[in-house]
């Protein structure tokens, strides 16, 4: 399965920003995201994400 920005967005729905990479991974795990999504989030840069656009930008760089 190819992971899309929409998949990432759905897995992170309801997250409070700002959030760091660990927050993203933990939130997606709590929402029962699949392993591929978790793995992509783990590959993203260690930084503070201020909104979903930041997350989507980082996701695009990891892809």
Interatomic CA distance for residues 33 and 26, integer angstroms: 10
What is residue 15's predicted lDDT score, i.e. its pLDDT?
Answer: 98
| pLDDT per residue as tens digits for the range 3-33 | 999 999 999 999 999 999 999 999 999 999 9
3-state secondary structure of 47: coil
Q: What is the mean pLDDT of the chain?
A: 96
Sign of CA dihedral 62, 22, 47, 7: positive
Whether the pLDDT of residue 63 is over 90: the answer is: no
pTM, entire model: 0.94
């Amino acid at each position: 399965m190819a992971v899309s920005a929409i998949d990432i967005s759905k897995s992170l729905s309801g997250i409070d920003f700002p959030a760091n990479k660990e927050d993203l991974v933990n939130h997606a795990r709590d929402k029962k995201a699949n392993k591929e999504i978790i793995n992509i989030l783990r590959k993203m840069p260690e930084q503070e994400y201020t909104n979903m656009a930041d997350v989507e930008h980082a996701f695009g760089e990891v892809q």
